[in-house]
Amino acid sequence: MAVDESDLPFEHPLYDLMAKMPGLDLATTSVDKLLNWGVRNSLWIFPMATSCCGIEFMAAAASRVDMDRMGTIVRGTPRQSDVMVVAGTITVKMAPRVKRLWDQMPEPKWCVAMGSCAISGDFYRDIYSVIPGIDTVIPVDVYIPGCPPNPEELMGGMLALQEKVALKRAGLRVPPEVRPETAKMIKPRVGRAEDPTREKLIGHHQALQARTLDLTEPADLVEAMTPKAAADGDQEGGA
Amino acid sequence: MTTAERESAFVELLRARFGLAEDAEPPPEGFLLAAEHHFELARTLKQQHGYVQYVSVVASHWPEVPAKGKVEGDPEHYEVATLLRTVGPGSHVARWRVRIEMDGALDSLVPLFAGADWQEREQFDLVGVRFADHPDLRRLMMPEEWVGHPLRKDYAIETGHLPWR
Amino acid sequence: MTLERPDRADPYLDLDEYEPEADLMVLNFGPQHPSTHGVFRVVMYLDGETIVKAVPYAGYLHRGVEKLCEKLTYAQITPIVDKNDYVAPMFNEQAVNMAFEALTGTEVPIRAQYIRTIVGEIQRVASHLLWLGTFAMDLGGAIGGGTSVFMWCFREREMILDLFEHLTGCRFHYNTHTLGGNRHDIPAGWAEKVHATLGHIAQRVDEYEAILDHPIFKARTEGVGVISAQLALDLGLTGPLLRASGVDHDLRRDAPYNIYDQLDVQVMTDTGGDCAARYRVRVREMRESIRIARALVDNVPPGPICGTKPIKLPVQTRVKDGQVYVALETPRGELGTYVIGGGDNRNASPYRLKIRPPSLHALSALPYVLPGHGVSDAVAILGSLDPIMGEADR
């Protein structure tokens, strides 16, 4: 049974202290605003730069555009970063590494998908070795379209992210603006990271893969891994 | 020597020692030689004719062509083209092809050219052709656990690799 | 340097046979590291600080371009291959289009050949600028406060991108070459802009040399990563890497394409074979490219820029038989395209298209060169090879 937690009383020693001390709640609110301002304006970037977009990312960090004036320092390590900018095509061989680097980043963290390849795979989308969009692996906050986007567009995306961070820290929800027909058109085989059916799908697909891997003949395995065979497998699993 | 002179010298060499028919016109697809001449030709070119730079190796997969009427059938096979180059003015690329059956293997050029190592690994990975006596024939581009060879004609371009795509 | 370095290390070294007493450490470098210039991984086995064996792993950016090209018609392939060598896209376009022109027997008008040569030389300057900036940044904070050279080089590179934006309308991936010529003619006032920009960059190159004439830069590059001429030829290294090892070979002079047979191209060589020699060769090539582009841009003959009209329909490009190999000289070396005609779309697609990537050959030098060096030298050596992973992995 689902419980609506908003009606439950919130009890914490700190909360009691704040309720007793006059003026402390006002102070904490002000400190919170200050912290939000600080978080918003010091988004340190971890560049997951794999291909062409990485060069435009470098151009954005270099002399003409100079993204650093927004407080976005580029760090080479995930452990000191707030934002992962995925700039470039992510392949099947690279995706586990991206996931691992994302898991190493401390909360709160955000992800920006820069360029068509990171958003949907672009024209590499249907190729055997390319994953159809980084949001099938990690959740994405801001999408910056382009092939590659100009440095100015990257700055626009970072400003949008600042806005989103401010809204989220203030407790407001930022609903994604996705047109249903577009979502249907770009639906990948494996669900996106925020798709509720994803866990079930991946579990099923992994089981299917494990079953097919028992085959000894490589040719059979290729056949088993093609989409048609996988679709048949889905029906079996359903029944 | 100019490029044209080197080209004619190369054709002469093929005719004299490597089984090219005397009156054979250079076909638009390049010279097709027997596989047993492959290594010996590369060694001769490198040691005696100045083709010291390794350029590339290109393998291609040819699926079975069933016999139909007067057209003869052709079993499934590979073709491997090898390219070597001379350096300096009048540079020329020596290019020849050999045909490899599906269960066969081509002599590796790694003992002659260290650069053949990665190129042959790549062609083995993507096309599936095997190279005999290669010191380290592993996959280069695809992950180790990958199944199949993507550039073969019977490999669907949109083949999935779960759970990633 | 006191370390003993043989001419060529053994890449297939069996670690069990290496001194059993040694306490080897495994250091994984990449695939995500700011100094790998993309996504590239090297596993290094260290004895103390010295590399004993290096095992590189490529393929983290393998996007299946060759398979994709088999599905597209000849006219559709140009914008796809733009993304291979994303630091010098002009050369990618030209390489595939030259191969298709050789396959279909298409003539290129003289004006288009001039435009191709000019944009190629300007692109070479931009590519070397990007290499110089990232290489100086890889070598760390010692040189001019860390990112100074990087910032300077990008400042000049942006000026070149502005030139291309004026010419093609695109900043990065141009799609300006087509089968049988070019899409975009030289706009009015472009030649003056080229003179102004390149003249400006020619002065700035002197500044880079002045700031990099620095004891720390020299200590980290001279004698580091020596590639002998024999090893460079065996590995198929081309371009500045080969010329830095003392081999006098440049496709622009030795196997001319475009209008290079009418030009007097000075081939820049150096004898060291180390990182410093590769740096010197590239800086000299920048000056030479500036000279060629400035000499040509005023003398472009009038005429059409594309054979008759741009070829768009597959019916115009059906090729049943034939295999060609065409190569040109990019900032990284010999970029070749091997095409087998007669594929899908009723012979309007290549049956097989193989791109010969100079970067992959350059990276294959690592297991031969890295052993004997320290870990910090690995970054300098990898940077001096100027690999572009989009091209190496395709």
pLDDT tens profile C124-180: 999 999 998 888 888 865 454 467 888 888 889 999 999 999 998 888 888 888 888
Test the C interface: residue of A46, A64, A114 with most C CBs within 10 Å: A64
Q: Find, in chain C, the residue whose alpha carbon is nearest to that of B113.
A: C234
Prior bond of A108 cis (ω within 30°): yes
C64 dihedral zone (left: phi>0; alpha: psi -120 to 50; beta): left
**pLDDT tens per residue across span C5-35:** 456 777 777 777 777 677 788 888 878 877 6
Q: What are the respective helix, strand and coil percentages of chain A, to the nearest 5? A: 55, 10, 40
Cα atoms in the Cβ-side hemisphere of radius 13 Å centred on B31: 29
Q: Find, in chain C, the residue whose alpha carbon is nearest to that of A148.
A: C172
pLDDT of residue C118: 92
List chain A residues with pLDDT less than 50: 1-3, 213-222, 224-225, 227-239
Provide the 8-state DSSP code for C352: E
Residue percentage of chain C with pLDDT more than 90: 19
- In total, how many domains does chain B have? 1
How many residues make up chain C in this entry?
394
DSSP codes, chain B: --HHHHHHHHHHHHHHHS---TT----TT-EEE-GGGHHHHHHHHHHHS---EEEEEEEEEE--B--BTTBPPB--EEEEEEEEE--SSS--EEEEEEEEETT-EEEP-TTT-TTHHHHHHHHHHHT--EEET-TT---SSS-TT--S-TTSTTS-TT---TTT-
**pLDDT tens per residue across span C247-280:** 889 888 888 888 888 888 888 888 888 888 999 9
Task: Tell me if B67 is assigned to some domain.
Answer: yes
**Which amino acid is located at C312 in the chain?**
K
Task: Tell me if B157 is assigned to some domain.
Answer: no
- In total, how many domains does chain C have? 1
Q: Looking at beta carbons, which residues of chain B come within 8 Å of C334? A: 55, 85
Task: Tell me if B69 is assigned to some domain.
Answer: yes
Look at strands A142-144 and B130-132 and give their pairing.
Answer: unpaired
pLDDT of residue C196: 92
> Which residues form the domain of B89?
3-107
C361 burial via Cβ count (<10 Å: 0-12, 13-18, 19+)? buried
User: A92 vs B165: CB contact, 8 Å cut-off?
Assistant: yes
User: B142 vs A126: CB contact, 8 Å cut-off?
Assistant: no
Task: Tell me if B130 is assigned to some domain.
Answer: no
- Measured in angstroms, the CA of C240 and the nearest CA of chain B are apart by 14
Task: Tell me if B64 is assigned to some domain.
Answer: yes
CATH 3.40.50.12280 residue spans of chain A: 43-185
Domain with C246 in it: what CATH number? 1.10.645.10
Distance CA A19, CA C120 (A): 71
Residue appearing with tokens 């016999």: B67
> Which residues form the domain of C136?
65-393
**Average per-residue pLDDT in chain C?**
85
CATH number for the region A43-185 comes to 3.40.50.12280
Task: Tell me if C131 is assigned to some domain.
Answer: yes
- Arithmetic mean of pLDDT, C192-198: 92
Residues 118 through 157 of chain B touching chain C, CB cutoff 8 Å: 118-119, 122, 126, 135-136, 139-143, 150-151, 157
pLDDT of residue C5: 45
List chain B residues with pLDDT less than 50: none
User: A147 vs C173: CB contact, 8 Å cut-off?
Assistant: yes
Task: Tell me if B40 is assigned to some domain.
Answer: yes
- Measured in angstroms, the CA of B148 and the nearest CA of chain C are apart by 14
pLDDT of residue A192: 67
Look at strands C333-340 and C352-356 and give their pairing.
Answer: antiparallel
Residue appearing with tokens 């190796």: B57
**Which amino acid is located at A239 in the chain?**
A
Task: Tell me if C3 is assigned to some domain.
Answer: no
Q: Find, in chain B, the residue whose alpha carbon is nearest to that of C40.
A: B141
Distance CA A40, CA A165 (A): 6
Task: Tell me if B35 is assigned to some domain.
Answer: yes
Tell me which residue in C60, C86, C172 faces A91 most closely, judged by beta carbons: C60
User: C32 vs A97: CB contact, 8 Å cut-off?
Assistant: yes
Task: Tell me if C60 is assigned to some domain.
Answer: no
Q: Find, in chain A, the residue whose alpha carbon is nearest to that of C34.
A: A76
User: B118 vs C364: CB contact, 8 Å cut-off?
Assistant: yes
User: C60 vs A52: CB contact, 8 Å cut-off?
Assistant: no
Domain with B18 in it: what CATH number? 3.30.460.80
pLDDT of residue B115: 87
For residue C110, give Cα distances in angstroms to A195, C117, C176: 56, 11, 16
Prior bond of B143 cis (ω within 30°): no
pLDDT of residue A237: 37
Is B88 part of the contact surface with chain A (CB cutoff 8 Å)?
no
pLDDT of residue C290: 92
User: A225 vs B142: CB contact, 8 Å cut-off?
Assistant: no
Task: Tell me if C58 is assigned to some domain.
Answer: no
Task: Tell me if B158 is assigned to some domain.
Answer: no
Task: Tell me if C278 is assigned to some domain.
Answer: yes
User: C389 vs A50: CB contact, 8 Å cut-off?
Assistant: yes
